[in-house]
Amino acid sequence: MKTLTITLALALATAGAVAAQDTTKTPPAPPAQQAPMAAAPAPSSMSVEVVLARNVLDRVPQDTGSSFTADVGQLTLWTRVSGGDGQQLHHVWFFGDTEVSDVTLNINGSPWRTWSRKTIPVEATGAWHVEVRDAAGNVLKRVDFTIQ
């Protein structure tokens, strides 16, 4: 009787193990989907010329330069744009490597003149620069200047 019990227990254990196994073939996992690469921003068709000045009078920059005294008060980045009708530009002002202002400018014709002004604190001496960027963030021009 012991032999029958052991045989029956082994048969049940084996049947349970067989029943617990997945005998169907698992299809291989599909290859990982790669996200499509983002297209690089198209180069801008705009052409820009820039002048850093103390002021703009009758749409013409006045008192231009690349070095100004600490008491300058404010500076203006004058920009003439060709081929940008209906687009936007950004004047991004930096003190050292720190962005201090981002001014969005609408271009409503070609050629088009526009500008932004930045108040310069008396204590902000040192290296400054302004980047002119298109709407995609491409730097079209960079103007470096110093406040002494």
pLDDT of residue 94: 98
**C-alpha to C-alpha distance for 126 and 96, rounded to whole angstroms:** 7
User: Six-digit token pair at 36?
Assistant: 């499509």
91 vs 38, residue with greater confidence: 91
Amino acid occupying residue 142? R
Whether pLDDT at 71 is above 90:
yes
- Domain residue spans in the chain? 47-147
Amino acid occupying residue 21? Q
Q: What average pLDDT does this structure show over 29-37?
A: 56
User: Six-digit token pair at 66?
Assistant: 């690349």
CATH architecture of 47-147: Sandwich (2.60)
pLDDT of residue 24: 45
Beta-ladder partners of 142:
131
% of the chain at pLDDT higher than 70: 70
Beta-ladder partners of 118:
75
Torsion (CA) 111, 113, 114, 118 in degrees, nearest 10? 130
**Per-residue model confidence as pLDDT tens digits over 44-63:** 688 999 999 999 999 999 99
Q: Which residues are CB-neighbours of 56 under 8 A, at least 6 positions away? A: 62, 76, 78, 115
pLDDT confidence band for 83 (50 / 70 / 90): very high
Amino acid occupying residue 34? Q
